[in-house]
Structure 1
Amino acid sequence: MTNVLVLGAAGHIAKFARADLIENSDVHMTDYLRRANRLQLLDPSRETVVEGDATDKAALIKAMQNTDIVYANLAGANIEQQAKTIVAAMNQQQITRLIWISTLGIYDEVPGAFGKWNHSMLDGGYLQTYSAAAKVIEASDLDYTIIRPAWLTNHDEVTYELTQKEEPFKGTEVSRKSIGVLVSRLVQEPTKHIKESLGVNKPNTDGDKPAWY
């Protein structure tokens, strides 16, 4: 049985990933978050809850015992420090597989008017800190997959396409459910997309900005 450590387990994307893994796999998940009361377990027989902060190396090392895959669904101005701590803890525990949620635009890869709009919305710290965190992951020896979603929707749908780091980003939006299912698929097929940074968008959503703006 595969053991997955879910960092930031109360997040919306993480909820979809957990639900898909419960339905379509036999993995066991350790749900790691700062406040356990925020989390509703989907299957108590296959989920264990651990309270902790993603910058607490000792707590992470303890939570990573017997872990095969780390899935990080994190946020915050200290995301670079979180990345450094997670990489260090994984190295100490000799865990190599990491799935990391980032954001679009960290390589200035979003073209045209949408790219300019994205900069106007996310510059001022957000893109810079997420870019710095991605550099930490990419400089590591881990078997990482970085996921860069388009602007997120709550649509009940799973439809997405992928672009690579060196390719222009496509589309403007994607559902949180789609990203969660992608994470689940990577957990179930952990040799896919190793050392890749994936742009993820819903097909045919090109535009100057997301449709709801």
Structure 2
Amino acid sequence: MTNVLVLGAAGHIAKFARQDLLDNSDVKITDYLRRANRLQVINADRESVIEGDTTDQPTLEKALKNIDIVYANLAGSNIEQQAKSIVATMDKQQVKRLIWISTLGIYDEVPGEFGKWNHSMLDGGYLQTYGAAAKVLETSDLDYTIIRPAWLSNNDEVDYELTQKGEPFKGTEVSRKSIGVLVSRLIQKPTTEIKSSLGVNKPNTDGNKPAWY
């Protein structure tokens, strides 16, 4: 049985990932977040909860005991610091597999007018800090997968395609549910997309910006 630690477990994408894992696998989940009262446990038989910050290495170290895979669904201006803490603590506990949610545009890979618009919306710290966090993973010895979603919608659908680092990003949007299901699939097949950075979009959503803007 696989044991997964979900960092930032109260997030919307994390909720979809947790639900899909509980529905389609026998994975056991440890939910890790700063304020445990924000989380609604889906299945008490297969989920446990730890309250802690990802930069609190002693607490994170305890949470990593007997864990096989870490899935990080994090945010914040200190995302690079969080990445460094997670990599160091995973190394100490000899946990290798990490799935990390980032954002589109960290490699300046979004082409055309949409790329310009994305810069106008996310420059000023967001792209820079998320790019720096991704570099922490890419220079580590972890078996990481970085996920770079397009602009996120709440559509109740699973519909996505992938691009690799070095390829132009496609589309403008993707549903949170799609990203959650992708995370679940990677956890269920943990040897896939090792040391990959995946752009994720809904097919046929090309444009100058997401449809709802």
TM-score norm. by structure 1 comes to: 1.00
1:43-98 residue CA offsets vs partner (Å, 9 max, x unmatched): 00000000000111111111000000000000000000000000000000000000
Task: Say whether residues 1:148 and 2:148 are aligned partners.
Answer: yes
Amino acid paired to 2:63: A
1: CA distance between counterparts of 2:191 and 2:203?
25
Alpha-carbon distance, 1:210 to partner:
0.2
| Structure 2 partner of 1:175 | 175
Rounded Cα–Cα distance in structure 1 between residues aligned with 2:87 and 2:61: 10
**Structure 1 runs of 4+ with >4 Å offset:** none
Which residue number in structure 1 is paired with residue 75 of structure 2? 75
Partner of 1:110: 110
RMSD: 0.3
In the TM superposition, residue 2 of structure 1 has moved relative to its aligned partner by 0.3
Give 1:212 shift.
Answer: 0.2
Query: 1:141 Cα shift?
Result: 0.3
2:200 match = 200
Is 1:2 the counterpart of 2:5? The answer is no
How many angstroms apart in 2 are the aligned matches of 1:203 and 1:59?
41
Distance 1:74 1:180 in 2: 14
AA aligned opposite 2:45: S
Q: Distance in 2 between matches of 1:51 and 1:187?
A: 22
Q: Aligned letter for 2:57?
A: K
**Residue 51 of structure 1 pairs with residue 48 of structure 2:** no
Residue 111 of structure 1 aligns with an amino acid whose one-letter code is P
Shift of 1:108: 0.1
Shift of 1:144: 0.3
1:158-204 CA-to-partner distances (Å, cap 9, x unmatched) read 00000000100000000000000000000000000000000000000
CA distance in 2, matches of 1:56, 1:118: 33
Alignment of 1:65-144 (within 5 A): 65-144=65-144
Q: Which runs of 5+ in 1 are unaligned?
A: none
Aligned residues: 213
CA distance in 2, matches of 1:57, 1:127: 25
Residue identity over aligned pairs, in percent, reads 81
Equivalent position amino acid for 1:175 in 2:
S
CA distance in 2, matches of 1:197, 1:59: 28
Matching residue of 1:61:
61
TM-score, normalising length from structure 2? 1.00
- Unaligned stretches of 5+ residues in structure 2: none
**Aligned equivalents of 2:204 and 2:83: distance in 1?**
33
| Residue 10 of structure 1: how far off its partner (Å) | 0.0
Task: Work out the CA distance in 1 between the residues paired with 2:132 and 2:122.
Answer: 14
Secondary structure at 2:183 match in 1: helix
